Chain A
Amino acid sequence: MGLELHDLSKHFTVRSDRGRATVRAVERVNLEIPEGQTVALVGESGCGKTTIAKLVLMLERPTAGAVTYDGKSLHEMSRTEIKDYRRHVQAVFQDPYASLNPRLTVRRIITEPILAHYRRDRATLNARVAELLDIVGLPASAADLYPHEFSGGQRQRIAIARALALDPKIIILDEPISALDVSIRAQVLNLLMDIQEKFGLTYLLIAHDLALVEHLSTRVAVIYLGSVVETGPSEQIFASPRHPYTQALLNAVPRPDPDYVPKAAESFDDTGSALEPPSGCKFHPRCPHAMAVCKTDNPPLAKLADGREAACHLLTGPHAVPNA
């Protein structure tokens, strides 16, 4: 069962030049996050990936639709069920300089979630802190230091230890390595892979770095202006992207190869705005293959022959172009 998103929407009301307006940050997203998998949400900044994470963490209430855990909607849960859910779902954020309280010792930081849920005596807590620090590769002596005494990579290890403190089942990783030094990133990535294997964790990964996503994820959901445009096993998506947006994203990724020149999209139209999304398919103003129908009808997310899902008139429906 695990975590599922059903027709999940989140709209924000903002004041604009012409009075109030609605930002459709997340628009009818359906997604399964099966146990033991790493599901990645990818897309440009402002596409709604962090809002989805906030909805899953119950930091925002959905406008419509629901997040369900083991079949039960988060907003129908009782207080004790919510407490259980919060134990099962933890998060590691992008910036370990901002996500650790500078006034607490590492011991307090790591024991805080434990004490929020259980009564434990000091000896048990200290043993647990030592165990967690060992798992993330820090010495036991780190427990009595403050966050500023650590480098970025070490701080991210502390954040990971805190996320592991309650033996969670799911960890939300919001850009877990993008704030770290290049030579440190691999250490933290390897650690994330090791603990996933060791504890059978499920990851929901939010990242804009597609090489990282391919490296870590088993399933991918590509998001454009709040909606999923293509989703499936990551081997499939990376080997043969079908949606024109996924293709544009992958073509743009630079490679450490002097003979490879990434392809710039021909259109100089910038990312559309979630405030005034284009009619029909939201990607049509930037799409090199846009047809008349794309300006009027929004394509539904539909299953393709190979099992993945995509939302594009080229691929499914009466306007589909064979071998597109």
Chain B
Amino acid sequence: MNAPLLRVENLQTHLHLRRGVVKAVDGISFEVHEGETLGIVGESGSGKTMTCLSILQLLPTHGGGKIDGSVELDGENLLDLSEDEMAERIRGPKVAMISQDPMTSLNPVYSVGDQVSGPFLYHKLVTTVRDAWAAAANGLRRVRIPSPERRLKNFPHQFSGGMRQRVVTAMAIACSPRLLIADEPTTALDVTIQVQIMALLRSIQKESRVGIILVTHDLSIVAGLCHRIAVMYAGRIIETGKVRDIYRNPQHPYTQALLEAIPHLGQKRTRLAAIPGQPPNLMDLPTGCRFAPRCPKRMSVCDEYPSATNVGDNHVVNCWLAAKH
């Protein structure tokens, strides 16, 4: 297999607050290959958004954030780069992000043309504003917004939610990045619009072989779109594998419980297998397996953190149950 586009090794993002240390991301490793989509699934507070922000080094500096480990993009460790290098060479041309809420990620006082043409000018892909607007019109055409030249003059509030998410996507792919990070790109949208955005991401990937990290809390959304999935819980990846293995043969009790605890279409008025308890406090984590306090299959050995077990075909699980077999 070719060298991965992105290799994250033992990434730790700890936030040093007055009240203590929040271990938002606590030693995770994963890879994304060219043309591949990795789904990162987890509930709120599991560290998935912090992982994205750590790759881009967009953590607020005053927040006491400390990133350790390595984030290699095409063999270059992004954590060694200066802020200027990140801004000029990485964010935009190499790694771009689509954020969750298209209502707040566009500036309401600038026209869409001003905003979509921005990346072309900043990264000096064109020299004149006129060329930048022409490039922006092409950008909107790529994300299939009808009559792009006219729409460029509109302001964000004149677009619907789905159209705004297309605009944000057009900005993200403006400089043909190698890696696209989509953080809950459809959570704020209706299902009918959601499938259109997902279809759009799929076609962009087909055209450009871009690697995609798709972050979501909803296991159903990633099923049709991802090649591989990493399930996060309390700052760690607890199971990762090909999409089919994760859905058909989940090994970690948390993954199993997540799949059972969500109502699916075609399932009628039965009690769901609820997961008892709540996710742990990131300032006061259990020493052993972090899911153990809620786990129905807990054993005494779970007081120690389980090592990774490969159960076949790069399907890796951090659970003593898998380690025993």
Contact = CB atoms under 8 A, between A and B. Distances in A.
Q: Do A and B come from one complex?
A: yes
B105 interface: no
B221 A254 contact: yes
B191 A183 contact: no
A193 interface: yes
A193 B274 contact: no
Contacts, number: 145
Interface residues of B, number: 51
B144 interface: yes
Given A189-B272, A256-B219, A238 B160 contact: no
A97 B218 CA distance: 21
B196 A258 contact: no
A184 B268 contact: no
Contacts of A184: 275, 278
A186 to B, nearest CB: 4
Contacts of A187: 274-276
A296 interface: no
A182 B45 CA distance: 11
A261 B224 contact: yes
Contacts of A251: 195
Interface string B180-213: 0000000000111111101100000000000000
A258 B191 contact: no
B243 A265 contact: no
Contacts of A252: 191-192, 194-195
B244 interface: yes
B223 A182 contact: no
B226 to A, nearest CB: 8
A260 interface: yes
A98 B248 CA distance: 39
B261 to A, nearest CB: 4
Contact of A45 (B190, B218, B274): B190
Contact of B43 (A182, A212, A254): A182
A7 interface: no
Given A183-B279, A185-B261, A210-B265, A254 B223 contact: yes
A257 B44 contact: no
B296 interface: no
Interface in B239-272: 243-244, 247-248, 257-259, 261-272
Interface of B: 43-45, 144, 146, 160-163, 190-196, 198-199, 217-221, 223-224, 243-244, 247-248, 257-259, 261-276, 278-279, 294
